[in-house]
Chains A and B, each alone.
Chain A
Amino acid sequence: MTHLLDIRDLHLAFKGLSGLTEVLHGIDLSIAAGERVALVGESGSGKSVTARIVLGLLQEMRNARVTGRVAFDGADVMTMAQKDRAALRGTEMSMIFQDPTSSLNPTFTIGNQFAEVMRRRDPKLDQAACDARATEMLTEVSIPDPGRVLANYPFQLSGGMNQRVMIAMALVNNPKLLLADEPGTALDVSVQAQTLRLMHDLVEKHHTAVLFISHNLGVVREFADRVYVIYRGRIVETGPTDAIFHSPGHAYTRALMDAVPRITGAGLPAVPEVSDDFLAPMVRHDGGAS
């Protein structure tokens, strides 16, 4: 089966004063068209940098060394020219971020920012066409009174509204791949749940593939078809969501699951910082697309 995104043996190292520090030690990950895949791990495990490599942002950093193969839609993101990588961003793939309010520029209106994003795809679009399409998109993410929202600045809207705006903006150009980096972690839990459900429905409708990055297994279970668990720059377990949740094979996955707070539980479980079990070989659950 062909993959929309296919990552093979991805290594990342940062050049520092004390030489190279390797952050990713050979990641293999693939996403089929229209598939929702989650990459789960604690902070510092390498999930966000993986998304930024897919976008081609880290390749442009002077102190980053990236090796491996990242194929997107048949083309190798690693070897293509910087200009071609930039051309993919915002059109074929887009990204939504953790904190919606600070991810939107405070000095431009929502309508203005929408238009800029749409002109990435079609530079000749006039303001009226942009506004019409943006209104349509905002209605899709259940924003009441889209006309007013388009004239507003991000600081005039609530965090939940901005989150929806960002989802709409990321999907307005009909990208093939959406990278969601801990979306809505800055929001409260109920608003986060609402917007995630909305995002779930939208990507299903538009057949958009998603790489969903999170530290929260509870959220992932609701959202993803398939899960990769990442620990210290290595994939430690992968498989269909149900399989991983029913029979977590790797010690780290089990620890991560225990770390999801429950109302009925007895306080926070003690997850060890490092454990020899966490370094056990990768567990692969078969089934699903991979």
Chain B
Amino acid sequence: MSSVFRILLRRLAISVIVLIGVSMLIFAIARIIPGDPARIALGPNANADQIASLRTEMHLDEPIIAQYGYFVADVMRGNLGQSLYTNRPVTVDIAEFLPATLELVIFAGILMVGLGLPLGILAARHRGRWPDHLVRVGTLLTVSAPSFVWAVILMLLFAFYLPLFPVAGRLTDSYEIARVTGFLTVDTLLAGNFSAFVDALHHLVLPSIALALSGIGQAARLTRANMIETYDKPYIEMAQAFGFYPTRIARRYAFKPSLIPSLTIIGLDFAAMLGNAFLVEAVFAWPGLSRYGVAVILRKDLNAIMGTVLVIALTFLVVNILVDLLIAFLNPRIRHSTRASS
């Protein structure tokens, strides 16, 4: 297990470098966009002195390198600065909006893995017969439209024409749930309010399906292709020659080797959901990070933009590290090759 630990350390070191790079890039871009943040923040009635004093307070008069220095020093102290849009610390804003987005993305991820992989296995096992054809046509359909299109279609079909699910939001207004984690499915259970939990799940269904559909298709097609390749390997014939049941061969002997190449892509797809979540959130009026992100970009709220981008980059990196660790755990070849090389 120590080699997995070594992989973790190396990936963490790389992640720190990536984060520094992302912060520099966004820092520069945010300041190159035209518009004076101080003027926008103070509104049309502010006089030149007020604007000048806010600019000084925000270090906007100093060279961009010095500004970056102030920013890094603040971040080291866990301070992302004050948002000019909400007038609250950026960390407080993010803590409020991020859980809603994460809840959506995590549910979509569970759907992607929980439906995509079994569908892929099913198609590969019945290759060339009707379950395979059904899965292939179905998944082609889901991958060929982006998630926000699915969001609109699902909303029209299952919230408007057939009012089975709520159109927007995370929870029916009549419920009062004390905020603990910000994840409504968790908070409602912590509050012991089961009907609110069901209501929160009910609100999650359409947005998370819309977000997951292309990922489900991608995961199923990938799993199918890799499984079919694995089925041609001699060790599968050997398993058949030793009389193992076809279901056992599919789930154990063929699935594990073919999961390894699929997993990297599935991990990337999962991380990409964070970006797509912005669009799905917009369609379903989901009070997540996207609403905040778009508002602060339009107001050129520098600190809030930096904070939002950094948090998304960080989530991306964490997901990638988790996937890498999972692959190292599943693939003995990686585990043992790093031991030999380091």
Please report A residues at the B interface, Cβ cutoff 8 Å: 55, 57, 86-91, 94-95, 97-99, 102-109, 116-117, 120, 153, 155-156, 179
Other 15 A-B pairs with CB < 8 A, given A97-B237, A120-B244: A57-B237, A87-B243, A88-B243, A89-B242, A90-B241, A94-B242, A95-B238, A95-B241, A102-B235, A103-B238, A106-B235, A107-B256, A107-B260, A116-B244, A120-B242
Q: Which residues of A contact B253 (CB under 8 A)?
A: 105
Residue pair B234, A99 in contact (C-beta under 8 Å):
yes
Bound: A95/B233 CA distance, A: 16
Interface string of B204-247 (1 = CB under 8 A from A): 00000000000000000000000000000111011111111100
Q: Which residues of A contact B10 (CB under 8 A)?
A: none
Bound: A107/B335 CA distance, A: 11
- B235 touches which of A94, A105, A109 (Cβ 8 Å): A105
Q: Which residues of B contact A90 (CB under 8 A)?
A: 241-244
Q: Which residues of B contact A91 (CB under 8 A)?
A: 243
Bound: A93/B239 CA distance, A: 13
Residue pair B336, A94 in contact (C-beta under 8 Å):
no
Bound: A120/B249 CA distance, A: 13
Bound: A97/B242 CA distance, A: 12
Bound: A86/B245 CA distance, A: 8
Residue of B with least CB distance to A55: B241
Interface string of B163-177 (1 = CB under 8 A from A): 000000000000000
> Can you list 29 A-B pairs with a CB-CB distance of less than 8 A?
A55-B241, A57-B237, A57-B240, A87-B243, A89-B241, A91-B243, A95-B238, A95-B241, A95-B242, A97-B237, A97-B241, A99-B234, A102-B233, A102-B234, A103-B237, A103-B238, A105-B238, A106-B235, A106-B332, A106-B333, A107-B331, A108-B256, A109-B332, A116-B242, A116-B244, A117-B242, A120-B243, A153-B332, A153-B333
- B257 touches which of A89, A103, A105, A179 (Cβ 8 Å): A105
Residue of A with least CB distance to B254: A105
Q: Which residues of A contact B257 (CB under 8 A)?
A: 105-107
10 closest A-B pairs by beta carbon, nearest first, are A89-B243, A90-B242, A90-B243, A95-B241, A103-B234, A105-B235, A86-B243, A103-B238, A107-B256, A102-B234
**What is the CB-to-nearest-CB distance from A56 to chain B, in angstroms, rounded to a whole number?**
9
**What is the CB-to-nearest-CB distance from A200 to chain B, in angstroms, rounded to a whole number?**
21
Q: Which residues of A contact B191 (CB under 8 A)?
A: none
B interface, by DSSP: helix, strand, loop or mixed? helix
Q: Which residues of A contact B237 (CB under 8 A)?
A: 57, 97, 103
Bound: A104/B333 CA distance, A: 14
Say whether B95 faces chain A, with CB atoms less than 8 Å apart: no
Q: Which residues of B contact A106 (CB under 8 A)?
A: 235, 257, 332-333
Residue of B with least CB distance to A92: B243
Q: Which residues of A contact B238 (CB under 8 A)?
A: 95, 97, 103-105
Say whether B330 faces chain A, with CB atoms less than 8 Å apart: yes
In the complex, which residues 237-272 of chain B have their Cβ closer than 8 Å to any Cβ of chain A?
A: 237-245, 253, 256-257, 260
Residue of B with least CB distance to A186: B234
* Most chain A CB inside 10 Å of its own CB: which residue of B244, B257, B330, B336: B244
Bound: A95/B330 CA distance, A: 28
* Given A90-B243, A97-B238, A120-B243, A156:B336 Cβ within 8 A: yes
Bound: A108/B236 CA distance, A: 13
Residue pair B242, A155 in contact (C-beta under 8 Å):
no
Bound: A90/B332 CA distance, A: 26
Q: Which residues of B contact A95 (CB under 8 A)?
A: 238, 241-242
Residue pair B244, A104 in contact (C-beta under 8 Å):
no
Bound: A103/B241 CA distance, A: 11
Bound: A87/B332 CA distance, A: 31
